[in-house]
């Protein structure tokens, strides 16, 4: 794991293998951002000419490397574009992405110093989070060692007030996101419900969480009909994990419920092969909840938080649930399963039902729930639905504060009748495909009593990056929404 430290040494004198600086774009051409002071002088006044010769524009995401030929201790400078922001008005997400892109471009380099704008604690934290997340790589299954290793030692150049606290928070956030990415990337042969529960128990206990694991017997006896129904087709039975953190001075309790399908084959309503090969990522919601609880505990936030990981493997077999089966959920409501591929909502309602017993001020569930989320909002923007408009907006703001894209979506009442079942209280699927992200939200809402503030985050797209790496986001597992949940908890902390 990459380490990070703070240093207020000038960029031109820091002993490192590569120096990262920011470049703004502008009408008068590219200009070095703050943080790079003294560099031009050390380079004999040649910085502008060098950038010009390299065709650097300063556009966000742009990367240019050039050698320093002994003019300073760092043999290489990496210039990363920051776009055209007036001084002191830089969006923290621009900084996170720039730091991430620059560190990614330095794979194979042992040490890097980041001389991006970090005049405040907030900026220092953003630079550190972006740099640490940009240094992510998943190497567990590689044997040939021919991939350049990520930067191992990062130094953030900053003398900002509050910089040390911001750096410590950044390390906690990055550790959680890194763990979630690893879990998402781990193949389902090595991550099944009981294994995930074991990891949660070990790591959670270490972080100071109290951890309770319900196995398949406890789930059956406890009336968790949804988790049991989804898990019954797999040779590897389901689990419900409860992670709890409390602070003596807290006056608010948050409950997070995560969809943790360690592999979603669709069940008997089998997915086509092309839609299945990345369904190891269908536990990303539970990953985010787990990562967030760890971070909340490690940061010692003055809030109470409980997290539920609804873990099951959705498989077809002789013991699998059948389309048209009916089960009784934890709430007592019966559900007709018309499509076994709409399984996430079935495990979530039991998690939500159990979370209600904690009498939380707010329940937020997080799930890679519908392909319709990707149709509606694309790969990178999560959909946020709620039975409370103010809470929905609060979740969207909490996401934006962390640079995570999320957008409020409605829960139109008229979609409820599409979920009428001919035999049970409700069906798990509406007959038509239009608006399925919202219909899934409507389904969940039926299991939330009036007066309970609840929000639902559909992160089907953001949870897994099928495209190329960008900014601080790698290919594969992203750890999306982990930081949003921590940010939300910070809002509720005293």
Residue numbers of the site for Zn ion (CB under 5 A)?
A: 261, 264, 282, 344
Binding-site string for ligand BES from residue 338 to residue 357, where x marks contact by CB under 6 A and - marks none: -x-xxxx-------------
Task: From 391, 390, 392, select the one nearest 382 (Cα to Cα).
Answer: 392
Asked whether position 93 contacts Mn ion by CB under 5 A, the answer is no
Q: Which one of the spans 242-250, 367-375, 402-410, 472-480 is the region binding ligand BES (CB under 6 A)?
A: 367-375
Catalytic residue annotation: 271, 345
Instruction: Considering the complex, state which of residue 297 and residue 348 has its C-beta at the smaller distance from ligand BES.
Output: 348
Alpha helices in 105-244 (DSSP H): 121-134, 163-185, 193-206, 216-222, 225-231
Q: How many residues bind ligand BES (CB under 6 A)?
A: 15
- Judge contact between 325 and 229, C-beta under 8 A: yes
Binding-site string for ligand BES from residue 430 to residue 459, where x marks contact by CB under 6 A and - marks none: ------x-----------------------
Asked whether position 365 contacts ligand BES by CB under 6 A, the answer is no
Instruction: Considering the complex, state which of residue 96 and residue 259 has its C-beta at the smaller distance from Mn ion.
Output: 259
Q: Which of 174, 219, 460, 493 binds ligand BES (CB under 6 A)?
A: 460
Instruction: Considering the complex, state which of residue 216 and residue 343 has its C-beta at the smaller distance from Zn ion.
Output: 343
Alpha-carbon distance values, 101 to 58, 60, 235, 488 (Å): 13, 10, 42, 26
- Judge contact between 163 and 121, C-beta under 8 A: yes
Q: What does the alpha-carbon distance between residue 186 and residue 196 come to, in Å, rounded to a whole number?
A: 11
Q: How is 53-117 classified by DSSP, letter by letter?
A: HHT----TT-EEEEE-TTSSS-SEEEEEEEES--TT---HHHHHHHHHHHHHTTTT-SEEEEES-
- Judge contact between 424 and 326, C-beta under 8 A: yes
Q: Which residue is nearest to Mn ion (CB)?
A: 341
- CA 91 from centroid of its chain's CA atoms: 20
Instruction: Considering the complex, state which of residue 163 and residue 462 has its C-beta at the smaller distance from ligand BES.
Output: 462
Asked whether position 458 contacts Mn ion by CB under 5 A, the answer is no
Q: How far is the CB of 264 from Zn ion (least distance, A)?
A: 4
316 binds, among ligand BES, Mn ion, Zn ion, none (CB under 5 to 8 A by kind): none
Task: Give the number of other Cβ atoms within 10 Å of residue 122's Cβ.
Answer: 15
78 binds, among Zn ion, ligand BES, Mn ion, none (CB under 5 to 8 A by kind): none
Helix, strand, coil in percent for the chain, rounding step 5: 35, 20, 45
- Judge contact between 307 and 354, C-beta under 8 A: no
Instruction: Considering the complex, state which of residue 59 and residue 271 has its C-beta at the smaller distance from ligand BES.
Output: 271
Q: What does the alpha-carbon distance between residue 40 and residue 81 come to, in Å, rounded to a whole number?
A: 17
How crowded is the C-beta side of 14, counted as CA atoms within 13 Å?
30
Asked whether position 341 contacts Mn ion by CB under 5 A, the answer is yes
Q: How far is the CB of 442 from ligand BES (least distance, A)?
A: 12
Q: How far is the CB of 411 from ligand BES (least distance, A)?
A: 16
Q: Which of 62, 93, 216, 264 binds Mn ion (CB under 5 A)?
A: 264
Extract the tokens encoding 199.
Answer: 């990891």
Q: How many residues bind Mn ion (CB under 5 A)?
A: 3
| Strand 253-264, strand 239-245: pairing | unpaired
Q: Which of 282, 313, 336, 490 binds ligand BES (CB under 6 A)?
A: 282
- Judge contact between 238 and 327, C-beta under 8 A: no
Q: Contact residues for Mn ion (CB under 5 A)? A: 264, 341, 343
Q: Contact residues for ligand BES (CB under 6 A)? A: 264, 282, 339, 341-344, 368-372, 429, 436, 460
């Amino acid at each position: 794991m990459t380490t990070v430290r703070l240093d207020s040494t000038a960029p031109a004198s820091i002993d490192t293998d590569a120096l990262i600086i920011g470049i703004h774009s502008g009408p008068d051409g590219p200009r070095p951002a703050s943080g790079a002071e003294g560099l031009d002088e050390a380079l004999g006044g040649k910085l502008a000419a060098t950038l010009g010769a390299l065709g650097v524009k300063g556009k966000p995401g742009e990367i240019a490397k050039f050698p320093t030929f002994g003019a300073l201790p760092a043999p290489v400078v990496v210039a990363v574009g920051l776009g055209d922001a007036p001084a002191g008005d830089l969006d923290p997400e621009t900084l996170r992405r720039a730091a991430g892109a620059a560190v990614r471009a330095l794979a194979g380099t042992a040490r890097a110093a980041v001389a991006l704008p970090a005049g405040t604690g907030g900026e220092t934290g953003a630079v550190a989070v972006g740099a640490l997340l940009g240094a992510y790589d998943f190497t567990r299954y590689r044997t040939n060692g021919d991939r350049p290793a990520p930067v191992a030692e990062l130094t953030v150049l900053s003398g900002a007030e509050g910089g040390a606290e911001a750096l410590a928070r950044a390390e906690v956030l990055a550790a959680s996101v890194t763990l979630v990415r690893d879990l998402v990337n781990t193949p389902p042969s090595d991550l099944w419900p009981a294994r995930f529960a074991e990891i949660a128990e070990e790591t959670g206990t270490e972080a100071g969480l109290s951890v309770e694991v319900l196995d398949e017997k406890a789930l059956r006896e406890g009336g968790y009909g949804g988790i049991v129904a989804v898990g019954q087709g797999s040779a590897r039975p389901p689990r419900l994990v409860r992670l709890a953190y409390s602070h003596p001075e807290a006056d608010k309790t948050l409950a997070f419920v995560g969809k943790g399908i360690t592999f979603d084959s669709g069940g008997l309503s089998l997915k086509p092969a092309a839609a299945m090969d990345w369904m190891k990522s269908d536990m990303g919601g539970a990953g985010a909840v787990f990562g967030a609880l760890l971070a909340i505990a490690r940061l010692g936030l003055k809030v109470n938080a409980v997290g539920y990981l609804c873990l099951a493997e959705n498989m077809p077999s002789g013991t699998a649930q059948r389309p048209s089966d009916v089960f009784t959920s934890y709430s007592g409501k019966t559900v007709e399963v018309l499509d076994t591929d709409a399984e996430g909502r079935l495990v979530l309602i039991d998690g939500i039902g159990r979370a209600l017993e904690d009498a939380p001020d707010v329940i937020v569930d997080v799930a890679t729930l519908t392909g319709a989320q990707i149709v509606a909002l694309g790969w990178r923007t999560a959909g946020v639905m709620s039975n409370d408009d103010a809470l929905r907006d609060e979740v969207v703001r909490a996401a934006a504060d962390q640079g995570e894209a999320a957008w409020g979506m409605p829960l139109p009442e008229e979609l409820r009748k599409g979920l009428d079942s001919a035999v049970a209280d409700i069906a798990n699927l509406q007959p038509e495909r239009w608006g399925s992200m919202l219909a899934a939200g409507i389904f969940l809402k039926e299991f939330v009593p009036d007066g309970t503030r609840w929000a639902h985050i559909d992160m089907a797209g953001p949870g897994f990056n099928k495209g190329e790496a960008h900014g601080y986001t790698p290919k594969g597992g992203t750890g999306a929404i982990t930081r949003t949940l921590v940010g939300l908890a910070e809002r509720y902390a005293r």
